[in-house]
């Protein structure tokens, strides 16, 4: 019970909340459902700070990334590891892939990880759903 005297122990079904944090940031997003509207509402978000995550267990960026390999589908992992040398368009297919530099790999990893985490939060499952059990694609980037 908060100091306002209201019992907040009953879950309010009219409100969806998503919380994410990564030092030094904390983000709380709230969505109020409109009474009388019965459309399904999926709401989730994730905050990511693009910083190196090396330590004694993962001394290099490659080691860090490899520790998460099983959280991605083979296609997603390939996208993290490689980049197209030509920008995608609706008429031009990706034809040649070159290895990314460590910082590019790290940014791609964090972007794709955040999308997966936001999606599972929207489903109400969070980290309870195996991240390799579904695949995400970025509209306008992964097409082709």
Whether residue 98 has pLDDT greater than 80: no
State the pLDDT confidence band at 97, using cuts at 50, 70 and 90: low
Q: Is the pLDDT of residue 49 over 90?
A: no
pLDDT, tens digit, for every residue of 30-47?
777 777 766 666 778 888
pLDDT at 101: 87
Query: Once rounded to an integer, what is the mean pLDDT over residues 104-116?
Result: 92
Question: Is 67 in contact with 103 (CB distance < 8 Å)?
Answer: no
E runs forming strands in 1-144:
15-22, 25-32, 82-84, 97-99
Burial state string for 86-119 with b = 16 or more CB within 10 A and e = fewer than 16 = eeeeeeeeeeeeeebeeeebbebbbbbbbbbbbb
If one counts every other C-beta atom within 10 angstroms of the C-beta of residue 46, the result is 20
Q: What is the pTM of this model?
A: 0.70
Predicted pLDDT of residue 59: 92
CA distances from 88 to 15, 28, 36, 75, 105 (A): 39, 34, 42, 17, 18
Under the banding of pLDDT at 50, 70 and 90, the label for residue 93 is very low
């Amino acid at each position: 019970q908060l100091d306002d005297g209201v019992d907040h122990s009953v879950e309010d079904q009219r409100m969806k909340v998503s919380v994410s944090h990564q030092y030094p940031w904390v983000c709380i997003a709230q969505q109020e459902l409109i009474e009388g509207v019965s459309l399904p509402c999926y709401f989730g978000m994730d905050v990511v700070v693009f910083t190196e995550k090396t330590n004694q267990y993962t001394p290099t960026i490659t080691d860090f990334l490899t520790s998460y390999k099983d959280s991605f589908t083979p296609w997603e992992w390939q996208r993290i590891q490689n980049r197209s040398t030509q920008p995608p368009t609706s008429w031009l297919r990706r034809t040649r892939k070159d290895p990314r530099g460590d910082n590019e790999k790290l940014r791609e990893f964090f972007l794709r990880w955040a999308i997966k985490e936001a999606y599972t939060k929207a489903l109400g499952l969070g980290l309870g759903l195996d991240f390799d059990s579904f695949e995400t694609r970025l509209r306008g980037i992964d097409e082709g």
